[in-house]
Amino acid sequence: MTRKDYIAIADILSKHQVSNNLIIELSEHFKLDNSKFQASKFIYYYQNEKTKNYQLQNEKSSWHGDNYPIYMG
């Protein structure tokens, strides 16, 4: 697999609830598949995407109705 594949997998996983053990196990498997694979970069990227998705989800839940902010004026 290539870097693009690993990024796509991390992007998909970051949108779902997955255990840390799964991320580590996938990292170990990817290392076997590709000797240049860097688990730390994969995990770091996954965590950043997970944080972004969480923040976006919370931001959306603070909006009302048709995605317009609630007027508080």
Give how far Cα 73 sits from Cα of 28, 35, 65, 69, 70, Å.
53, 58, 17, 11, 9
CA distance 36 to 50: 24
How would residue 65 be classed by pLDDT, with cut points 50, 70 and 90?
Answer: low
Kindly tell me if the per-residue pLDDT of 30 is higher than 90.
yes
Predicted confidence at residue 63, as pLDDT, reads: 55
Kindly tell me if the per-residue pLDDT of 31 is higher than 80.
yes
Q: Residue 13 is which amino acid?
A: L
Q: pTM to 2 decimals?
A: 0.74
Give pLDDT tens digits for 39-56: 999 999 999 999 998 887
Predicted confidence at residue 73, as pLDDT, reads: 46
Taken in order 17, 15, 49, 57, the sign of the CA dihedral is negative
